[in-house]
Structure 1
Amino acid sequence: MIQRFPFAASALSALALSACAPGAAPPAPAAEADWPYYGGDAGGQRFSTAAQITPANVKGLKVAWTYSTGHMQTHAEAVERAAFEATPILAGGRLFLCSPFNVASAHDPGDGKALWTFDPKIDDTLRYPNSFNCRGVAYWRDPAAPANAPCAERIFMATNDRRLFSLDAATGKACAGFGQGGQVDAMPGAQLARPAGAQITSAPVVIGGVVVVGSSIDDNQRVREIPGAVRAFDALTGALRWTYDPLQAAGPGVVAGAANVWAPMSTDPARGLVFLPTSSPSPDFYGAARPGNAAHANSVVAVKAATGEVVWAFQTTHHDVWDYDVPAQPTLAMLGYQGGPVRPAVIQTTKQGLVFTLDRETGQPIIPVEERPVPQGGEVGEVLSPTQPFPVAPEPLAPNRIRPQDAFGLTPWDRDACRKLIAGARNEGLYTPPSTQGTILYPFTGGGSNWGGLAFDARRGVAFLNTSSALHKVTLIPAERVAGEKQAHPGVEISPQAGAPYGMRRELLVSPLGLPCNPPPWGVLTAVDMTTGKVLWRTPLGTTRDLAPGSQFLIRGVGTPNIGGPIATASGLVFIGAAMDNYLRAFDAASGQELWKGRLPAGGQATPMTYVWKGRQYVVIAAGGHAKGDTKRGDQIIAFALPQ
């Protein structure tokens, strides 16, 4: 899951990044372009044919409209536990979105005015594993329904409290024939240890008349966790069509749960396939009760949409004891590598900063993957995989080795403290196993990449993706000491891993001034030519202006950890928020130069989208901040456009 970034503001007053001044240019009329899926298209490329906004005129972008969900008032006491990660969709002539508290709404694409809202009235006093969150909704047109029939067009929304709603896209009213009054239990039979032990954060997908839903489950709590089952429901009736448990083939002797799909999914309607990014099995950091590689955990899994039958699975981490979930939407593309035949592909980015490129029909690597030896010697009872998979290209997009002498610090005193922290931990590079000594995880469990995934420009064969860079120290605690440690350190993440001989403690490695102990940049946007595997450019992403006002003038080019993803457009622009400051940025897709940034009223830790409506291109992002980044909270959707 995403982890909190508690970097001290006093230390961050030493960080900075420069910006470009805005300008203006008159736009030309543009052809209509929508954004009907969470990831732009069914395969999650996050690419738009819209080209009215160009590298030449992007400096002229201004706020065109804003919309407030109102949750800063209606859920005032819960917003500190919320993450506004939503990406709106445009389909059927309306813009649709959801708030962190699952209030769905439809809007006029030209001015943002609400056409309807629907509130499922979730309980905002609960504490969910991944904050109050709704990344998006799904649109479906019933091919058998008359054009103006009720619920001929539907919006599907899955909620934090694990319900799946079917709403009339025209009116926002619940579709009466779907389940009971327009809703079904999206996790039927789940025996939760606590009421908020699981939630649904990512948008469902609709394919072939079924709605597919994943889940987000408590991390690090117990060995015998609930199964991370993916479920499909009939799009008309809500009847359960199939259930797929990624651990169903784990074999005898395996005791574990989770391996759930909390990140966004993709679909291939032509092949009738759904692509699932699965997470780690329970518990995250000790795996003696789950010998072997845990079947389809930590994998990209292709299943038949009609039945849930597995077509293929490719595992990106064997016997995961590092919380290295597959965290991002699988991106579907057509690719040829180094002059080879162009084939249907799946591009999958990971928390480790690795990018796997697989054949969409077989799951076999298009860009070769090597099994390489990795550190061994886990704690008592642990049997690690002797090797892990590494793609030969591109090179890892996040650093994964650090020595004490590499420690970063603002002053010699600060740097020396970080050197001692690194030297005191077990640290043998990527895949060093967790230990009672304390082990460095680099990249940390927030990535590398996370749920923001990548954007892909098929015409150029280029992928754009953002990564974070920070260190976690994970320490295994003998089970009998967990309660005492938790009481002694109330501000530190300590979890029981009940049923295992060890609990765990996870903390960011930061200096006494609060700076990350690893060298910057701490956030980067990268372009990769996927036909050659070569990195084209890298640029730091983000400033610390909103973490420590004035800091951006003292040191430049450090970036920040980031939450959210990029989009790309046909004119050669890459738009991204994500960084821990209140900006939406535009970069030149060819060079990586920052061309524009637009000020937001709160943190933009979400993935933007773009569309053309009545000849005018808009770029839209949720500006609501993030509980785990502790960025400024808000409840607005902001649309930028060129002046008319």
Structure 2
Amino acid sequence: MTIKALVCASLLLASNPYSYGQAPRKAAAVHPAGEWPAYGNDAGGMRYSPLNQVNDKNVASLKVAWTYQTGELGLYEGTEAMKKAAFEATPIMIGRTLYFSTPAARVFAVDAATGKEQWVYDPAINLHTGYSEVTSRGVSAWPAGGSDKGKGASRIFVATIDGRLIALDAKTGKPISSFGDRGTVDLNKGMGGTISVTSPPAIIGNTIIVGSAMGDNQRFDYPPGTVRAYDVITGALKWGWDPIPRDSTNKAWYTWNGPKAHKTGAANAWATLSVDAARDMVFVPTSSPSPDYYGGERLGQNLYGNSIVALRASTGKLVWYYQVVHHDLWDYDIAAQPVLTDIMKAGKKVPAVIVGTKMGHIFILDRTTGIPLFPVEERRVPASDIPGEEAWPTQPFPVLPAPLGIQSVGEKDAWGPTEEAKEGAKKRIAQLRNKGIFTPPSYEGSVMTPGNAGGIHWGGMCVDPKERLLITNINILPAIIRMVPRERQAELEGKGSAVVRGEMGMQRGTPYVMNRDYLFQVDEKGVMMQTTPPWGTLVAIDLNSGLKKWEVPLGYMLDPQKYPGAEKWGSLNFGGAIVTSGNLIFVAASRDGHLRAFDSHTGAELWKYLLPAGGQATPMTYELDGKQYIVMAAGGHGKFSTKMGDYVVAFALEKP
């Protein structure tokens, strides 16, 4: 198929997503207002709490209520895990118990009022194995939605970095022997390789749905990114859905071209899935097909990679899809949980799904059809000059909400703490290929911004349904991507070339090795960014109009005593925000180690607390015995080089 024909096909597909009709509506699960029964509180990931005991008038009086330590760091001794471990979990709270997981997927149950340990389960992961990530962002409870007529959760599920799905008794923490093989389902079985899971599974009715994570950029033929559903009682497989078409009966088959194209791996969903029980739908955010930065072995549009895909939860059948990046060459996975909420359009309430992306693009789609509710334009983008590669000629750009973060980098954007440093940054930028957000990889090096770490990263978004606000924190970390011909790699490494500094991805099965670096310098003073601040912000968008309401810097990276004004420069950040009816946004995430509260109306910072370790996780809140608590996992992030620890810290007002 020619490029011209493929363009026509893509425009047709983009304007007419596949739709297979709606299943009968079922009653949605409801949970008591004081609980936080799922990763995003509700199954659609709004991360909103109606609690307002802690509010914009009294938040400055928040104090530590209790602290719990998991003892996790002791597990890492004698291994390389400390370099990768990240305590990214958001606890869930059901009844009177808080449940959470550590980077090594140990599961804890503690008393939500006191932090007193109730039980611990250790899956005994072999930390001597070289996992790409060492993290677990949380656990899931069944029945979904929290308390079942006051009975509380029956089962707690955790999915692990060594590819296991484990069912635990919520009261005792012991594996449920009737589930799978003595409590465990082997997720590696039938995958043709090993996978990991870093996000909590989605639960809808008696079905548990799980995606997968896998290391990037090392090979062409990673395992398939199949999403699978299991029976929560027995562990029996119900269905599987592969985002890459493997036979010509699939309508997406012709969007993959080349003799090896249909053997591509990945396009997996490693972010948290969202479910709509009333519509029997699960919303799957897929990632880049492998490898991330070279698509010469998988020419074409590459459906359903880099897409939000709506599946029938009971059967796994495709309902609709919307692709946010065609033929990804930039590692632009959908990293954030899709958010399910309602949008007012022409005076009517429309069920929507909001898709936040690493590009800083936000797509707001009709939840039942996948059709955009705000304008999206298909625009021309630069061609590739790498032999064998064919970048897709157009990409979708949302008009509203407007893109977040800088969308291109030029010499005018160079920054340094001194004139000499600024000039060095300017010269470095001038040497790179730089034609905007979808500049393809090149031999000389291409700038990609906001970058593969976001824009909107896995920390994701939250929604205040009362005020109709979408809130998200973003990163601005331009990446530099080079393609190195495989036959020249050894030569360049032998000469110690600056071209091969940074991360090398072998991309086996392709003609090129990938080199990834970033626009910063590391010296004795630490990490010094080379683009104008802010480098991380917190943003609020009006969902009625699609317009930005406010944007403020989030945290700081440099010592304000040494660098006056640094507190206004923002910080690279990992972890998300929550919003409450008390007109508050709680977020940590930044490199300076603080948990902060912001006014949701204005973005003004109202309170902050220095955590005992890095806060690269998303907080949560609940109410118990008439007291509202805010809880934060503080364990640091090995790759992000924040202070390591093993803390869970709860905050409350001394006199509610």
Residue 209 of structure 1: aligned partner: 206
Residue 531 of structure 1: aligned partner: 544
Alignment check: 8 A CA contact 1:471 1:516 kept: no
Residue 641 of structure 1: aligned partner: 652
Alignment check: 8 A CA contact 2:38 2:140 kept: yes
Query: 1:81: Cα distance to partner?
Result: 2.2
Aligned counterpart in structure 2 of residue 87 of structure 1, from 87, 90, 107: 90
Residue 586 of structure 2: aligned partner: 575
Q: Secondary structure at 1:171's aligned position in 2?
A: coil
Residue 449 of structure 2: aligned partner: 442
Residue 266 of structure 1: aligned partner: 274
Cα distance in structure 2, aligned partners of 1:52 and 1:142: 26
Residue 571 of structure 2: aligned partner: 560
Query: 1:516: Cα distance to partner?
Result: 1.5
Name stretches of at least 5 consecutive residues in structure 2 with no aligned partner. Answer: 1-31
Aligned counterpart in structure 2 of residue 423 of structure 1, from 430, 436, 439: 430
- Counterparts in 2 of 1:488-527, with a 5 A limit? 488=496, 492-511=502-521, 514-527=527-540
Residue 61 of structure 2: aligned partner: 60
Alignment check: 8 A CA contact 2:384 2:442 kept: no
Residue 9 of structure 1: aligned partner: none
Alignment check: 8 A CA contact 1:223 1:497 kept: yes
Alignment check: 8 A CA contact 2:99 2:109 kept: yes
Residues 552 and 601 from structure 1, CA distance in 2 versus in 1: closer, same or farther, beyond 3 angstroms?
Answer: farther
2:140 corresponds to which letter in structure 1?
A
Q: Work out which structure has the larger RCO, using CA pairs closer than 8 Å and 6 or more positions apart in sequence.
A: 1
Residue 240 of structure 1: aligned partner: 237
Query: 1:93: Cα distance to partner?
Result: 2.9
TM-score of the superposition, structure 2-length normalised? 0.89
With 508-517 and 463-472 compared, the bigger mean Cα shift is at: 508-517
1:166 corresponds to which letter in structure 2?
A
Query: 1:571: Cα distance to partner?
Result: 1.1
Residue 18 of structure 2: aligned partner: none
2:604 corresponds to which letter in structure 1?
Q
- Counterparts in 2 of 1:559-638, with a 5 A limit? 559-638=570-649
Residue 418 of structure 2: aligned partner: 411
Alignment check: 8 A CA contact 1:84 1:622 kept: yes
Cα distance in structure 2, aligned partners of 1:64 and 1:512: 38
Q: Secondary structure at 1:336's aligned position in 2?
A: strand
Alignment check: 8 A CA contact 2:141 2:153 kept: no
Cα distance in structure 1, aligned partners of 2:619 and 2:383: 41
Cα distance in structure 1, aligned partners of 2:313 and 2:566: 51
Residue 219 of structure 2: aligned partner: 222
Cα distance in structure 2, aligned partners of 1:497 and 1:583: 38
Is 2:138 the counterpart of 1:136? yes
Residue 101 of structure 2: aligned partner: 98
Alignment check: 8 A CA contact 2:535 2:571 kept: yes
Query: 1:444: Cα distance to partner?
Result: 1.3
- Counterparts in 2 of 1:331-370, with a 5 A limit? 331-337=339-345, 339-370=346-377
Residues 436 and 146 from structure 1, CA distance in 2 versus in 1: closer, same or farther, beyond 3 angstroms?
Answer: closer
Residue 127 of structure 2: aligned partner: 124
Alignment check: 8 A CA contact 1:128 1:198 kept: no
CA displacement 1:391-427 (0-9 Å, x = unmatched): 1111111111121132111111111111111110100
Cα distance in structure 1, aligned partners of 2:490 and 2:601: 53
Cα distance in structure 1, aligned partners of 2:102 and 2:153: 24
Alignment check: 8 A CA contact 2:575 2:616 kept: yes
Query: 1:147: Cα distance to partner?
Result: 8.9
1:62 corresponds to which letter in structure 2?
K
Alignment check: 8 A CA contact 1:142 1:153 kept: no
Is 2:284 the counterpart of 1:276? yes
1:565 corresponds to which letter in structure 2?
G
Aligned counterpart in structure 1 of residue 477 of structure 2, from 467, 470, 480: 470
Alignment check: 8 A CA contact 2:103 2:135 kept: yes
Is 2:311 the counterpart of 1:303? yes
Cα distance in structure 1, aligned partners of 2:327 and 2:512: 17
Q: Secondary structure at 1:198's aligned position in 2?
A: coil
CA displacement 1:38-73 (0-9 Å, x = unmatched): 001010000001100011100000110011111112
Residue 161 of structure 1: aligned partner: 162
Q: Secondary structure at 1:217's aligned position in 2?
A: coil
Residue 175 of structure 1: aligned partner: 176
Query: 1:511: Cα distance to partner?
Result: 4.3
Residue 5 of structure 1: aligned partner: none
2:638 corresponds to which letter in structure 1?
A
Cα distance in structure 2, aligned partners of 1:302 and 1:294: 17
Alignment check: 8 A CA contact 1:544 1:551 kept: no
Residue 111 of structure 2: aligned partner: 108
Query: 1:491: Cα distance to partner?
Result: 6.2
Query: 1:518: Cα distance to partner?
Result: 1.2
TM-score of the superposition, structure 1-length normalised? 0.91
Cα distance in structure 2, aligned partners of 1:350 and 1:612: 32
CA displacement 1:220-269 (0-9 Å, x = unmatched): 11112211111111100001111111112442642411000111110101
CA displacement 1:94-129 (0-9 Å, x = unmatched): 110001111101111101111111001000112211
Q: Secondary structure at 2:427's aligned position in 1?
A: helix
Cα distance in structure 2, aligned partners of 1:590 and 1:141: 35
Aligned counterpart in structure 2 of residue 373 of structure 1, from 367, 371, 380: 380
Query: 1:206: Cα distance to partner?
Result: 0.8
- Counterparts in 2 of 1:372-411, with a 5 A limit? 372-411=379-418
Q: Secondary structure at 1:199's aligned position in 2?
A: coil
Residue 24 of structure 2: aligned partner: none
Q: Secondary structure at 1:73's aligned position in 2?
A: helix
Cα distance in structure 1, aligned partners of 2:150 and 2:462: 35
Q: Secondary structure at 1:415's aligned position in 2?
A: helix
Alignment check: 8 A CA contact 2:132 2:215 kept: yes
Q: Which 4+ stretches in 1 moved above 3 angstroms?
A: 145-149, 483-491, 511-514, 548-556
Cα distance in structure 1, aligned partners of 2:489 and 2:237: 40
Residues 621 and 491 from structure 1, CA distance in 2 versus in 1: closer, same or farther, beyond 3 angstroms?
Answer: farther
1:604 corresponds to which letter in structure 2?
G
Alignment check: 8 A CA contact 1:521 1:559 kept: yes
Q: Secondary structure at 1:90's aligned position in 2?
A: strand
Q: Secondary structure at 1:556's aligned position in 2?
A: helix
Aligned counterpart in structure 2 of residue 318 of structure 1, from 326, 330, 348: 326
Alignment check: 8 A CA contact 2:100 2:108 kept: yes
Cα distance in structure 1, aligned partners of 2:286 and 2:164: 21
Is 2:228 the counterpart of 1:231? yes
